[in-house]
Amino acid sequence: MPRTEPIPQPKGDPFIGNMRAIDGDAPMQGFMRLARIHGPIFQLEFFGKPLILVSSRGDRQRAVR
């Protein structure tokens, strides 16, 4: 069985998770910055709910296979 690696994720705050990692004035640029830091597939958590982000169409197609 292949070993899976955890999805990269920025360190979050208690309760709000990664809410402060996203710039409210320029959220897309914030997501792009996080993709440059953590890779094309990364995870954020908002109020205890995980959200997996895929930054390109090619990676999305690989992720859903």
CA–CA distance, 50 with 61 (Å, rounded to integer): 20
- The pTM of this model reads 0.77
β-bridge mates for residue 44, sequence order:
51
**CA 37/CA 8 separation, integer angstroms:** 9
Q: pLDDT tens digit string along 11-65? A: 999 999 999 988 889 999 999 999 999 999 999 999 999 999 998 777 766 666 6
Domain ranges of the chain: 12-46
Distance between CA atoms of 56 and 14, rounded to whole angstroms?
29
